[in-house]
Structure 1
Amino acid sequence: MNLFLVGDLDKYMLPCSTKKYLGFDCMGCGIQRSLALIYEGEFIAAFKMYPGIYGLLLLTIFIILNIFVKFKYSTKIITITAAITVATIIISYIIKITTH
Structure 2
Amino acid sequence: MEGVELQCFKIISSVGTARSSYIEAIQEAKKGDFVKAEELMKEGIESFNQGHCTHGELIQEEANGNGVTASLLLIHAEDQLMSAEAFHIIANELIDSYKRITALEKK
TM-score interval (norm. to shorter): 0.3 to 0.5
Greater helix percent: which structure? 2
Q: Under a length normalisation based on structure 1, what TM-score does the superposition of the two structures give? A: 0.43
Q: Identify which of structures 1 and 2 has the higher relative contact order when contacts are C-alpha pairs closer than 8 Å and 6+ apart.
A: 2
